[in-house]
Structure 1
Amino acid sequence: MAIRARLHVSSTDAAVLTEVGMFMGSLAVGDLAARSRQGVSRDSATWAARKRELTRSSSARWAGSVTKATDDQWALARRGQAAEMAWLKGQITRIEARLARPLGAKADKRAGLVRGYATRSEWHAKSRRCSALHDRLAALEADWAAGRVRVVRGGKKLVRMRQHLDDVGLSQSEWRERWQAARLFLAADGEAGKRYGNETIRVTDTGQLSIRLPAALAHLANAPHGRYMLDATVAFTYRAGEWRDRIAAARAVAYRIHHDVVRGRWYVTASWKPTPVPVLPLDAALARGVVAVDMNDDHLAAWRLDAHGNPVHEPRRFLYDLSGSAQHRDAQIRHALTRLLHYTRRCGAAAIAVEDLDFTDSASRERHGRNKRFRRLVSRFPTAKLKARLVSMAAEQDIAIVAVDPAYTSRWGAQHWQRPLTSKNRKTTRHDAAAVAIGRRALGYSIRRRAAPPRNDQSDRYGHRTAQAGPETRRREEPRPRIPGPRTRSVPPGCGAKAGDQRAQHRPGYAAEHTSWSQDAFPLSL
């Protein structure tokens, strides 16, 4: 949980914050270099040695925050290396499989064969790309074995921007100001049991902000015990009640101060780990129905389903725009999910059903060929970000998230639900029908509907073939099995009668049954 507030600092406050941030940032740079040199041989003894080295110039609490941030950054880089190695291996395997096929060969899914490349020039270009990927993988595996990561404090984006200042419209001094602001270190972890939950960066219940200065900058203190008291006050608006409850109970709250050079503003961010939310049983979550959501590249298609799998009310669409900067895209996703959660609360449902999508391997040309437009569409699809943010935001609203298998939801939804749910006043789209399919799968019902029964004058008066199979029925989503017997069904199945047998038909001179039949005598009482 993280909340943010703006700091209206004075020129003196800004100068002190900048000097403290640059000093601690230089210590963080040195600690990151030391951690990178250690590689995978890191243990508690080496961590204690790094912390003692930092404590001499700052304090034990500042040193603990720096070493923790360094370890987190190194671990994040390692996870990035593992993900890149997995991606490279998948690309190499896919390209080599296509290189082994003849030119122009068709794919055969049953035999597990991929299609070959169309031309000799394309085959040659792909072979060169495969060789380059092998070299990248070998270098990455060497870094992985040595525990070596490639991290830039301040971000690689700013480093690359330094070589293209004319293209981005920045001067060297403006770039230097952004670079220094990105490398500031003004963060402190919280401590349970300490006053207001943090001893290094302290924010009181009245909004008074103070910083415990490092030992080398103790001459800047304007308050007792080597602290600097800022003139600016902090006023949290979002979840301010929860924040006050934590600091009143002396529970841990972490703070981070950063400078936005573009806007010329200072911000403080308070964060803490919320109490774990108890997991709601699936049956209890689905007892009041579910709001099914079909995720698309520009909107969320939602439809409410009751506990019996029937669509109720009207479908809803929550639009978002994924163009522009990363901050704009993130805000668009957050607003769309907020509207979805509010709609779920108004409907009275306690669960949201979504597809468990993963397009990690679907953005490459080896899988979708030369369809560049579709590859770009898949690449911009924010499945991981949508799911992660939806889970965290729904937990705060006491709403359960049910992830279902995405197989054939769009196809079967359009085939079985789009036309029946379309009326003169409502036009059901393919995405709305897919939402219905997702919701039915989450509730345990089959997606595909049975064929409509024949009319009453076609001999099937009592058997209703639109009845759905129960959730416990195996293979309930497969086509209905063919029942043996004559077409007229005048002979029960299993009696040996065949549809092509003349005696099984109602024709003059032939009996409809193979066995003899005689009418019983009427009772005399009638």
Structure 2
Amino acid sequence: MDRLREIAASFVAPGPTGVAIRDSLKCLTGQDQRVLRLVGGLLGSLASRDLKARCATRLYHDTDQWAQRKRALTGQSSSRWAGSITKATHDQWALARRGQLAYIQNLQADIDMIARRLSLPVGVKGSKGSPGGYRSRQEWFAKSRRLHLLQDRLQRERADREAGRVRVVRGGRKLLRNRHNIQTAQLTEAKWRMRWEAERWFLQADGESGKRYGNETIRVSPDGEVSIKLPAPLAGLANAPHGRYVLACRIGFRHRGQQWADRVQTNRAVAYRIHFDVGRDRWYLTASWQIPPVRTIPLDAVRSGGLIGVDTNADHLAAWRLDAHGNPVGEPRRFDYHLSGSAPHRDAQVRHALICLLHWAKRHRLAIAIEDLDFTTEKTREKRGRRKRFRQLVSSMPVGRLRSRLVSMAAELGIAIVAVDPAYTSRWGAQHWQRPLTTRTRKTTRHDAAAVAIGRRALGCPIRRRTQPPPPHRSDVVGHRTVQAASDIPGREETRPRIPGPQRRSVGAGRGAKAGDQCAHNRSGHTAERESWHQDSLPLSP
């Protein structure tokens, strides 16, 4: 029997700590685009140089070296541009370190899985949750070679991490590799060069409270006027006092525009980023700021009125409403999304499904229970063996993006999100709820039953159904109960002791060990009948 892992406690997910909004810069003149390209190219070259200096210091970086890097950039740009560049490059280096650690953990997981399967005989079937041995000697030999390759790769990565060495590409490694496969990426050299330069531009500045409109480097007034503080080498392009360049267009944020205007009018910090989308040939401005964390509602208060259990799948969200006692109410709901096409299209599909779910929850004034999924270890190549389609299915699920968007969107509507442990929800939901909830007019799917299991776990109820009423008598005519008493409760129902003799159907009359005993045929006087067995009463489990 497989040992079940410990189920983590449910908790109310904390709200977001930041806000980001975006709008396009329309009606830019040729001179505006020229200035933005020059400023982005100059600051991008400085950012590349600073990133190289930051990677060279490795783990021996301190505040003095940070100040030295900033002084080296200040003369070629400005003090505020230099501060934004040094902070961005340090964050990029830290991100590369976290990615390096995650890669090492994935390599170790692959090595452990291959070593385990190599230790098993060829052709041995696996048990629940773990694959067995390899199917053939050829596959076993190929995996043994791959094991040595992964071990060498893991040794190099660990040596790099101990030395503080990271490998970072400004502009993205994927785009860099596309340069050697332009035809496969369906790009021309000119288009690739334009996209490569646009990704390496640097046009972002952190906000500063107390300064005019919350940012001195990229300033946006409440009426939408955008002005940029030009670096020292490009000060001759200024069209406004104090070395600033004012764009000809004006911007107005439709989403959270009033919140942004309130911060700008009170001179609170707002960070801005200007970037160019090569595919759409448009310039965009992104504004972001920090918000105080949303006060978390106690879990008991969330459970008081029931909630909605949601099961996350690769192409839809399965949801079912539950009352405070864990009973399904109404009909199950399904919110579809198609993860195909471009990244903006996939993101729009996820947002549309979440909006429909949140509007349904707001209409009934209920919280939402969702699995605290993390497929970091599930995406490894060796986890599922030859099940390539299943690995692609797991990898395609937008777990991180869906969770972050759901939390941020629910916080705006005042809806609490309860995260539960995803262990065994699909299996136990299908076992205990799929068949009872299926009727002639409703076909309950496995995902619908999993949504019920997720909701019951968030409510603190067991996934199994409630105990049936006690039978009118102690015989087994009425059948067994759905929930048995715990093993430590005295007087619980146990297995009946086996009494040998002709009473058992397995031993016929006149046969067995007592076939020659004439006393055994006397039912009223036999000693075995005098030793009657009595079953104690069965207490109901709580």
| TM-score normalised by L of structure 2 | 0.83
How big is the shift at 1:406?
2.0
Between the aligned residues of both structures, percent identity stands at 59
Does residue 38 in structure 1 map to residue 57 in structure 2? yes
How far, CA to CA, are the matches of 2:179 and 2:267 in structure 1? 44
Opposite residue 117 of structure 2, the aligned amino acid is R
Tell me, yes or no, if structure 1 residue 161 matches structure 2 residue 181: no
Structure 2 residue 62 is the aligned partner of structure 1 residue 62: no
1:52-90 per-position Cα deviation (integer Å, ceiling 9, x unaligned): 001111111100100010011000111000000011011
Q: Shift of residue 450 of structure 1? A: 5.0
Q: Which residue of 1 aligns with 2:399?
A: 383
Name the counterpart of 2:235: 218
Secondary structure at the counterpart of residue 308 of structure 2: strand
Q: Which residue of 2 aligns with 1:413?
A: 429
Tell me how far apart the structure 1 counterparts of residues 89 and 317 of structure 2 sit (CA, whole Å): 38
Q: CA deviation at 1:269?
A: 0.5
Most deviating of 45-54 and 378-387: 378-387
Q: How many angstroms apart in 1 are the aligned matches of 2:154 and 2:474?
A: 67
SS state at 2:434 partner: coil
Q: State the 1:311 CA deviation.
A: 1.3
Q: Is the Cα–Cα contact under 8 Å of residues 188 and 254 in structure 1 kept in the other structure?
A: yes
Structure 2 residue identity aligned to 1:482: E
Alpha carbons 1:453, 1:464 under 8 Å: kept:
no
Q: Deviations over 1:162-181 (max 9, x none)?
A: 22223334332222211111
Q: 2:370–2:419: 8 Å Cα contact kept in structure 1?
A: yes
CA distance in 1, matches of 2:533, 2:159: 80
C-alpha distance 475-329 of structure 1, shift in aligned 2 (>3 A): farther
Structure 2 residue matching 1:35: 3-state secondary structure: helix
In the other structure, the counterpart of 2:440 is 424
Cα shift readout 1:222-266 (whole Å, capped 9, x = no counterpart): 111111111110111000011011111111100000111211111
Amino acid at match of 2:396: R
Aligned mate of 1:7, from 22, 25, 28: 25
Structure 1 counterpart of 2:345, from 315, 328, 331: 328
Counterpart residue number, 2:308: 291
Q: Could you say which residue in structure 1 is the equivalent of 2:100? A: 81
For the residues of structure 2 that align with 1:79 and 1:223, how far apart are their CA atoms?
43
Higher relative contact order (CA 8 A, sep 6+): 2
- Equivalent residue for 1:276, pick from 278, 293, 301: 293
Counterpart of 1:315?
Answer: 332
Match of 2:146 among 129, 133, 137: 129
Task: Give deviations 1:455-486, integer Å, cap 9, x for gaps.
Answer: 869879999967x89xxx9899x9x9626889
C-alpha distance after superposition, 1:416-472 (max 9, x if no partner)? 222322233332222111111111111011111257558869879999967x89xxx
Distance verdict in 2 for CA 1:208–1:485, change over 3 Å? same
| Deviation for aligned residue 1:154 | 1.3
Contact preservation (8 Å) 1:6, 1:234: yes
Deviations 1:384-443 (A, max 9, x none): 332233223222322222222222222222222223222333322221111111111110
- Letter of the 2:21 counterpart: I
What residue in structure 1 maps to residue 450 of structure 2? 434
SS in structure 1 of the partner of residue 382 of structure 2: helix
Using a 3 Å threshold, how does the CA distance of structure 1 residues 375 and 173 change in structure 2: closer, same or farther? closer
Residues of 2 paired with 1:266 and 1:407: CA distance? 45
Q: Cα distance 1:392–1:460, how it changes in 2: closer, same or farther (>3 A)?
A: same
Contact 1:187 1:254 in 2 (8 A): yes
Find 1:180's aligned residue among 192, 197, 213.
Answer: 197
Secondary structure in 2 aligned to 1:323? coil
Is this contact kept in 1: 2:131–2:384, CA < 8 A?
no
**2:493 corresponds to which residue?**
482
Q: After the TM superposition, which residues 506-525 of structure 1 pair with which residues of structure 2 at under 5 Å, given as runs? A: none
Change (3 A) 1:191 1:449: same
Q: CA deviation at 1:105?
A: 3.6
- Among residues 333, 352, 372, which one is paired with 1:356 in the alignment? 372
Gap change, CA 1:172 and 1:346, over 3 Å in 2: same
Partner of 2:363: 346
- Partner amino acid, structure 2, of 1:79: R
CA distance in 2, matches of 1:98, 1:462: 47
* 1:320-346 alpha-carbon deviations (Å, 9 max, x no partner): 111223332222222222221121111
1:12-35: CA deviations, max 9, x gaps? 110111111111111101000100
Measure, in 2, the Cα distance between the counterparts of 1:20 and 1:357: 42
Instruction: Tell me which amino acid in the other structure corresponds to 1:256.
Output: R
Gaps of 5+ in 2: 1-18, 498-522, 535-542
Pair 514,82 (structure 1): closer, same or farther in 2 beyond 3 Å: closer
**Code of the aligned partner of 1:95:** I
Distance in structure 2 (CA, Å) of the matches to 1:126 and 1:160: 27
Alpha-carbon shift at residue 514 of structure 1 (Å): 11
Aligned to 2:47: 28
Query: 1:114–1:485: structure 2 CA closer, same or farther, 3 Å change rule?
Result: closer
TM superposition shift of 1:197: 0.6
Q: Which amino acid in the other structure matches residue 378 of structure 1?
A: V
Could you say if the C-alpha distance between residues 205 and 457 of structure 1 is closer, same or farther in structure 2, counting changes exceeding 3 Å?
Answer: same
1:244 corresponding residue in structure 2: 261
Provide the secondary structure at the position in 1 that maps to 2:72: helix
Q: How many residues align?
A: 486
Match of 2:519 in 1: none
TM-score relative to the length of structure 1:
0.85
In the alignment, the residues of structure 2 paired with residue 99 and residue 167 of structure 1 have an alpha-carbon distance, to the nearest angstrom, of 36
Code of the aligned partner of 2:170: R
8 Å Cα contact 1:57/1:216 also seen in 2: yes
1:420 & 1:127 partners in 2: Cα distance? 48
Q: CA deviation at 1:127?
A: 0.9
Higher mean C-alpha displacement, 434-443 vs 325-334: 325-334
Counterpart of 1:72 in structure 2 is: 91
Call closer, same or farther: CA 1:264–1:484 in 2, change over 3 Å.
Answer: closer
Moved more, 63-72 or 340-349: 340-349
Structure 1 residue 368, shift from structure 2 partner: 2.4
Q: In the TM superposition, what is the alpha-carbon distance from 1:356 to its structure 2 partner?
A: 2.3
AA partner of residue 37 (structure 1): A
Q: Is the 8 A contact 1:450 1:465 kept in 2?
A: no
Moved over 4 A (4+): 106-109, 450-466, 473-476, 483-486, 507-515
Could you list the runs of 5+ residues in structure 1 that have no partner in the other structure? Answer: 487-506, 516-526
Deviations 1:305-332 (A, max 9, x none): 1111111122111111112233322222
Amino acid at match of 1:18: R
Using the TM superposition, name which of 441-450 and 283-292 deviates more.
Answer: 441-450
Cα distance in 2 for partners of 1:365, 1:225 equals 57
Q: Distance in 2 between matches of 1:406 and 1:381?
A: 15
Residue 383 of structure 2, aligned match among 360, 367, 382: 367
Give the match for residue 524 of structure 1: none
Aligned partner of residue 184 in structure 2, secondary structure: helix
